[in-house]
Chains A and B, each alone.
Chain A
């Protein structure tokens, strides 16, 4: 059984971008879901370039879908071995918005996401997705370092 702080967690949402940080967060979430018999939902967000221009947008969309689908194949196998109820979804949009929206619609008990090491300039220009999710999510958020 997991730590008492995790009691009552039934639905875990993992924000996945196929980076090493996200893989690490996924490992943690898989472990937690296995311990707590929670349902695991993995959300991958394709972010379109702004302004989206044809045909670059379609190329980004296709490439993102294929990349995430490839990443989901071994993940599904791991979940099957651990007997974890797993669902995956690929959506398009701003990552923080989509994660928050998904967490609300699926009534997630916990959001798990990796922390990416952005530069100060990057954070100033674009903001950090994990910070935005932390600020606006309706449920607890776990940032895996």
Chain B
């Protein structure tokens, strides 16, 4: 049975269900379970649910160590940027050990990191920084765009034997969607085709999926049939589904809230240019944030970010339309 749940509640439901199912799952982080009434603390006790100091290096490093010793920790980091304080642990510790030990240890940890809070949080709490992690061998990177996937991908992330950075979008926090009750598992590494179409492929990431779908609706009114693909997982990347779509449509627009050179869009474009060049009828278009720090003031913030109009413009361009005069 599916019922409506907000995206953030779907994430919490997955963690709760996995903690019920598997007592090796731990949940900890800053400002978490400080009250005796906390539902996780009440259900699972203070061995498995703990508040930490503001110590990201220790939090993530301890998750790695607890994983060595047989547990499956989920670290609640709140803001994705807080991982940057502990970059060594995320990039140069967690994903290295399975490999460096010749497979002797596994590091099944989940780093729960909110991102993209472009709602006046200015320069340091608004980044869409998954691009810098998707190129790290051994890390998995997840970017759910719906409440249902938020649950299913968290379930899969917890059960995965690798370190997973789970990027949830802050602006989707309260967006409701149908979410299956009970166990719900969305495999890592499988893209979803959100809308089928034959004229152009739009690959959109995270918060951009809804914008791409809205743009596709608008384009449909102009007689343009857009296929919208949500990768859902950036590492491993389901390149096959994207290439298959481009093979059909011959045109690709990639929409990503990240700044261009740090974006997943640039990697996806490179893969398609390399592996699917013969299918392409037009140059690939990237619709990304402009290469600047996110400003505080709203008109400037809006200016930097991808939106529906920019997506529509990019699609029109790959279809050979003249840019609409301002």
Whether both chains belong to one complex is answered with no
Question: Which A residues fall within an 8 A CB radius of B?
Answer: none
